[in-house]
């Protein structure tokens, strides 16, 4: 910490308006829907810019560009920005071009590029951190105007002031922040590998041919989910929400197998006890999304957030007391349930499960000892890969916060 403070102590930095040091250019123009089928050239899509601080050249899309067309090419050192978004704070997300390409690359029409003048020495590796810093994101968001969709005003954007420290300082800032980024990347790669491993073992452990246990010679009893539950019902959507009160769980609060308490909604006590009485949750209820793109996502309701309630997009599964909760939960999370959903959703406008289909879901029941063995193995993987209080997700979140802290400190210069 003291070494970092010394790095910035007495640093002289020049502040310049973007309009003074760079030019702005637009994305592809004059293109129809057909031009994006069987294209002969590559362009940077909107999502590539939005989700990456530096452009990922492995994720380019194709477009038809005729010889001699008047289109801007993106180049090494440029910074690309998304032109609009549904909310102002997400407009103008940036992504720097930190690699040189041996082929022509263009920009999607919903974004714009920033190209620094040749006499301005701005490292693209420095740009990728600068334009994603909190103070620059806040300033960029203020240049967005709109009601239902917010668009960046180029006139206001050009007036934004950026700090230009010496080349030595820029290089040192990049070196430090690259180290933090690399740590997060390594952890994310590790998490991806462990998730694949978890998925593989879960499917192996929960694969039961009808009438026999593939992992041992003992027999497996087959029942339906309705046979092992005391309740299967849907939640209820309230007429209004509250700023605080009773926890109200939506799918957006699901993170892996856990509920993120920071993403809960709330309802008042009267709504909970009267209007939504039939969907009052209990400890260890299983919640599963039964419609839409997130169908099949599920969590176990923890004691810490009770009293709680949920909406009609989620089904409530309450198991009998003599049933191994974790075993049934992992079975519902597995590809076995995903295949069941796919089979029962064919022909529908969007995938969905009704309560009868949930009741009829076939459940293989091995011996108690075998269930405990399966749960013990999968518990370790689940904690490692999905827990937001333990395991790799927590470690990645801590590293991201550490990176953001040092990024803000290193990019805070006196005006």
DSSP classification of residue 215: T
- The bridge status of strand 161-164 relative to strand 79-82 is unpaired
DSSP classification of residue 90: G
Is residue 393 within 8 A of residue 256, CB to CB? The reply is yes
- Residue 73 corresponds to which tokens in the numbers above? 């090419």
Specify the fold of 221-365.
Adenine-n6-DNA-methyltransferase TaqI; Chain A, domain 2 (3.90.220)
Model confidence band, residue 3 (pLDDT cutoffs 50, 70, 90): low
Provide the β-strand partners of residue 318.
231
pTM: 0.66
The string of pLDDT tens digits covering residues 112-155 is: 999 999 888 889 999 999 999 999 999 999 999 988 889 999 99
The string of pLDDT tens digits covering residues 294-348 is: 888 999 999 999 999 999 889 999 999 899 999 999 999 888 888 888 888 765 5
Contacts of 310 (CB under 8 A, 6+ apart): 235, 248, 249, 250, 279, 281, 287, 316
Task: Determine the Cα–Cα distance for residues 269 and 267; give it in Å rounded to an integer.
Answer: 7
Q: Is the domain covering 15-164 a CATH 3.90.550.10 domain?
A: no
To which H or E segment does residue 138 belong?
helix 134-141
Between these two residues, 217 and 111, which has the higher pLDDT value?
A: 111
- Tokens 């029942």 sit at which residue? 223
- Residue 250 corresponds to which tokens in the numbers above? 């939506």
The string of pLDDT tens digits covering residues 221-249 is: 899 999 999 999 998 889 889 888 999 99
Show the beta-strand stretches assigned E in 38-148.
41-44, 61-63, 79-82, 84-85, 94-96, 105-107, 111-116, 144-146
- Predicted pLDDT at 147: 83
Is residue 384 within 8 A of residue 391, CB to CB? The reply is yes
Is residue 264 within 8 A of residue 248, CB to CB? The reply is yes
- Predicted pLDDT at 250: 92
Provide the β-strand partners of residue 248.
265, 309
The string of pLDDT tens digits covering residues 368-396 is: 999 999 999 998 988 888 887 788 888 88
Quote the distance between the C-alpha of residue 243 and its chain's center: 25
Q: How many CB atoms lie within 10 A of CB 331?
A: 23
Nearest CA to 175 out of 4, 10, 399 is that of 4
Task: Determine the Cα–Cα distance for residues 385 and 383; give it in Å rounded to an integer.
Answer: 6
Model confidence band, residue 76 (pLDDT cutoffs 50, 70, 90): very high
Q: State in words which class domain 166-208+367-415 has.
A: mainly alpha
- Residue 411 corresponds to which tokens in the numbers above? 């990019």
Nearest CA to 17 out of 105, 178, 182, 139 is that of 139
**DSSP sequence for 369-412:** HHHHHHHHHHHHHHHHHH-SSSHHHHHHHHHHHHHHHHHHHHT-
Task: Determine the Cα–Cα distance for residues 409 and 165; give it in Å rounded to an integer.
Answer: 14
Burial of 193 (0-12, 13-18, 19+ CB in 10 A): exposed
Show the beta-strand stretches assigned E in 285-391.
286-289, 298-300, 308-310, 314-319, 362-365
Nearest CA to 53 out of 89, 16, 88, 80 is that of 80
Task: Determine the Cα–Cα distance for residues 291 and 234; give it in Å rounded to an integer.
Answer: 11
- Predicted pLDDT at 339: 86
**15-164 against 221-365: fold identical:** yes
pLDDT value at 62 more than 50:
yes
- The bridge status of strand 246-249 relative to strand 308-310 is parallel
Q: Domain residue spans in the chain?
A: 15-164, 166-208+367-415, 221-365
What is the pLDDT of the chain when averaged over all its residues?
88
């Amino acid at each position: 910490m003291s070494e970092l403070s010394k790095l910035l102590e007495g640093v002289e930095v020049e502040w310049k308006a973007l309009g003074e040091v760079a030019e702005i250019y637009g994305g592809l123009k004059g293109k129809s829907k057909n031009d994006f089928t069987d294209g002969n050239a590559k362009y940077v899509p909107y999502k590539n810019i939005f989700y990456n601080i530096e452009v990922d050249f492995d994720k380019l899309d194709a477009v038809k560009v005729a010889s001699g067309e008047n289109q801007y090419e993106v180049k090494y050192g440029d910074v690309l920005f998304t032109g609009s978004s549904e909310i102002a704070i997400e407009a103008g997300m940036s992504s720097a071009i930190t690699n040189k390409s041996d082929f022509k690359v263009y920009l999607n029409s919903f974004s714009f590029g920033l190209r620094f003048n040749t006499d301005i020495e701005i490292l693209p590796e420095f740009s990728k951190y600068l334009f994603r810093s909190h103070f620059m994101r806040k300033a960029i968001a203020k240049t967005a105007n709109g009601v239902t969709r917010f668009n960046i005003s180029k006139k206001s954007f050009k007036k934004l002031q950026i700090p230009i420290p010496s080349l030595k300082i820029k290089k040192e800032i990049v070196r430090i922040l690259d180290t933090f980024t690399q740590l997060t990347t390594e952890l994310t790669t590790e998490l991806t590998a462990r998730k694949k491993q978890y998925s593989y073992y879960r499917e192996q452990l929960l694969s039961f041919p009808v009438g026999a246990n593939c992992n041992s010679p003992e027999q497996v009893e087959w029942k339906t989910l309705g046979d092992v539950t005391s309740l299967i019902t849907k939640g209820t959507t309230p007429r209004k929400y509250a700023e605080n009160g009773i926890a109200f769980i939506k799918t957006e609060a699901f993170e892996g197998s856990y509920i993120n308490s920071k993403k809960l909604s709330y309802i008042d006590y009267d709504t909970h006890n009267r209007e939504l009485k039939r969907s009052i949750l209990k400890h260890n209820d299983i919640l599963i999304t039964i419609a839409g793109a997130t169908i099949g996502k599920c969590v176990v309701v923890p004691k810490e957030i009770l009293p709680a309630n949920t909406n009609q997009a989620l089904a409530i599964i309450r198991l009998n007391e003599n049933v191994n909760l974790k075993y049934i939960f992992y079975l519902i999370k597995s590809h076995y349930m995903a295949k069941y959903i796919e089979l029962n959703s064919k022909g529908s406008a969007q995938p969905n499960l009704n309560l009868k289909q949930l009741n009829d879901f076939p459940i293989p029941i091995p011996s108690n000892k075998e269930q405990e063995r399966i749960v013990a193995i999968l518990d370790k993987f689940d904690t490692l890969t999905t827990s937001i209080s333990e395991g790799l997700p927590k470690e990645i979140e801590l590293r991201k916060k550490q990176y953001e802290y040092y990024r803000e400190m290193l990019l805070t210069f006196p005006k």
